[in-house]
Structure 1
């Protein structure tokens, strides 16, 4: 969900109260014309709402593909640019994820000021342009710079996709829509190398970018045709502007307008700093960000090293090495079941436990599913070390994939339940931390394996994952107390 999407509700309420106080009359406040107002995006025809969900989901899939689609071709580009630096080999892949970290911090507030569609369209065009620029790069420095810009533009559906779904899908159907949307960022990093492996082998690494640019260009055209503005604040403001023009009543204001006296820059600045303040002042947000950051870093560390591992240890070709990513993809897809299971688990608890304890109950499955990460790492590392048949380490990566996805699901569901109006900022803080770790941790991948070998190198990562388990139990037991003591509504 976009940073500050939910938080803006509080600002909107303040704006509404200020407006009513200033004007002393409800008729100056422009709101929806009842629950069935057709201008409310939630009341659009089903086909129109689901068309927007579909386009945003495909956008997310394509930008997620961009993170690692050319990873199998990294050895080719390193040879072409005459570099043998393992650090640069990892960085040219992970720099894209830094764009995912910092892009949402300003893309989400911009969507609240000017609308989601405007942000989508500008970023879509930028993504196509910078993808082409990557394809024609003539040195590593140029490629790394364009990869960062490509990632920033690609962060648009990551930043605003959840918000778009919240805008147009009623709560009763939102779980299904979010599940469809969640498949996109899940599949992209795992099937991207499969596609990229065969492309790089057949046409060279540059063609991974050319094909990505073609796909992005197609969906960009589709978004111009099918996407419509969904952000309620912008939709109501347009309605208020139209009514001011028609009636001549300049006192009319949108119910969701920002408080009077607050400039666009102040609103924008507040939206940017809120997630960072939550990281610094809420132990729960910080602990969960560390948890998700390590899991995300493991995913990208594996994605950035699979090609080297299976080419060097098992003699896979460039194209076939891409198939090694399918184990992680299968495990990740299996992790999607954690969401519905979490709902069932919550409903099975007796009502006597109270609604206030509900958010912490969401974290309890982590005590079991997180174990898949270290078990998978141990299996993957030691079977590669001793040249056990390639299917066994791939099974190990499937276990890791399942564990990683379970971490993301449980943390996301918990954050939404626990922080209510501030859930979007909590998720934005989480995304910032995990994307930075996801970009930087893979840089140590090859050096780690060179120093410790695949067995002990992955075992070290596995032991670190085991060390995270106490966080789950601490938050389950003391989470309510920490939430009340460090109230994020006061930030």
Structure 2
């Protein structure tokens, strides 16, 4: 006599006598097991998380990105004279003290991004933001120029993880259709006018010095660190799967703790063999060396981002001779163009031109080069805006004429960078963070070089010729999207790491 716990075994007929089918004596138990399995699968897939949490995650990484890239990077620029007076520095050393944040911003992603792909996004975020906060506090209490330079450098090194990891977290968390729209906000933080100088000017008017400003920034980063520690889950799906799946039948930590949150907040314990650590560190360089698509795309994106930043800074200097209202309009016009570019891409180009092509080849994957058509049209407009602004900024011509170029450049730059970023994500799905890291490194390297050399540049060339020079580089880059469209499939076919 079988016990109630023993499954009942039945054979339907003689032909199926060798097939034994278990039947559960309690359907509710079977349903509960299936429900538990579904919930476990959702925990292992960050795209299955609740909509409200994914929205919160998008806001969190965007705010963190705004604070590190847009706010803190240039907040001390307004206090250059105060730094020179307190530490007895010349103009070159003051420039170095302020720009060393950007210099180290170029180095960090090549370490943090490959680590995030092996250890997970959350442990790297925790390490970087704790280090970022400590560095900000130490910079605020610096008693000499050397310590200020060192801790500002460490701030840039730790803060550099935020930009590529923000793109990676959004790619991990959202479905492709939504992640393309969410990534636009990250790109906006990269190329929109920096609010750090305005923030510093506002605090200076309220009686703050550079030290008080540094303390305020440290408090802001500390609050962000608390939010990251308490609310940021691991998003990389391979790491979630490795953590949740028990090895050799042993219970995993989620079963041991009986808590879903325990699984999210202990992911930092996952490690890789020490012998392969050097492979993790060397991964970005190997990837760049072996992938011509990444080299072309990263250099192109870096040139677009750096050219946009140069336009912002040169136009700000060129408009100093005009009224404050004109200066404000010049800065806002770029932001308006960026916003229009996001709207055009997310609500016109993507749903009406790209998605139909995706559905036409489903369930196969559409060729990544399909999206480059938009870049091929936006590139000539981007290059023309430099020539337009440089050669129409004259006392004999109304200031409205060159200002028209600002929103057009902002729109074209947003379209180019959003399309190229999504192209890189399409091609390098398994190494998104590392691929985006190279774009970040090259772009901020070019921006830093221009920032350091800007006194010599403005002392040698007029605004007209600076814009002409940068515009000439942009004209030379116009064929890049078309060349990638033509030869991209061939370059991907000879690679063993991408689809």
Which range, TM-score by smaller chain? 0.7 to 0.9
Name the counterpart of 2:335.
Answer: 329
Name the counterpart of 1:133.
Answer: 138
- 2:77 corresponds to 1:71: yes
Report the CA distance between 1:324 and its aligned residue: 5.1
The 3 A distance-change label for structure 1 pair 287 and 105 is same
2:229 to 224, 230, 255: 224
- What is the alpha-carbon root mean square deviation over aligned residues? 3.8
2:443 to 428, 434, 438: 434
Query: Which of structures 1 and 2 has the bigger CA Rg?
Result: 2
The 3 A distance-change label for structure 1 pair 76 and 334 is farther
Name the counterpart of 1:161.
Answer: 166
CA distance in 1: counterparts of 2:315 and 2:150, whole angstroms: 24
CA distance in 2: counterparts of 1:349 and 1:481, whole angstroms: 20
CA distance in 1: counterparts of 2:392 and 2:76, whole angstroms: 26
The 3 A distance-change label for structure 1 pair 384 and 137 is farther
Name the counterpart of 1:147.
Answer: 152
Contact 2:164–2:440 (CA<8 Å) still a contact in 1? Answer: no
Name the counterpart of 2:354.
Answer: 346
1:47-80 deviations in Å (ceiling 9; x for gaps):
3333333222221121122222333444554465
Q: Match of 2:41, SS?
A: coil
Report the CA distance between 1:327 and its aligned residue: 3.1
CA distance in 1: counterparts of 2:313 and 2:77, whole angstroms: 6
Name the counterpart of 2:126.
Answer: 121
Contact 2:383–2:475 (CA<8 Å) still a contact in 1? Answer: yes
* Bigger relative contact order (CA 8 A; separation at least 6): 1
Contact 1:305–1:446 (CA<8 Å) still a contact in 2? Answer: no
Q: Single out whichever of 57-66 and 367-376 deviates more from structure 2.
A: 367-376
Matches within 5 A, 1:167-316: 167-185=172-190, 190-203=194-207, 206=210, 207-240=212-245, 244=250, 264-302=273-311, 308-311=317-320, 313-314=321-322
Q: Match of 1:410, SS?
A: helix
Contact 1:53–1:165 (CA<8 Å) still a contact in 2? Answer: yes
Report the CA distance between 1:217 and its aligned residue: 2.1
- The unaligned stretches of length 5 or more in structure 1 are 1-31, 248-261
1:23-49 deviations in Å (ceiling 9; x for gaps):
xxxxxxxxx935763433433333333
The 3 A distance-change label for structure 1 pair 130 and 270 is same
CA distance in 1: counterparts of 2:252 and 2:366, whole angstroms: 50
Matches within 5 A, 1:2-21: none
- The unaligned stretches of length 5 or more in structure 2 are 1-35, 254-270
Name the counterpart of 1:416.
Answer: 425
Matches within 5 A, 1:367-378: 367-378=376-387
CA distance in 2: counterparts of 1:90 and 1:402, whole angstroms: 31
1:369-388 deviations in Å (ceiling 9; x for gaps):
22333333234334556486
1:313-350 deviations in Å (ceiling 9; x for gaps):
34769xx9677533332222233235334423334669
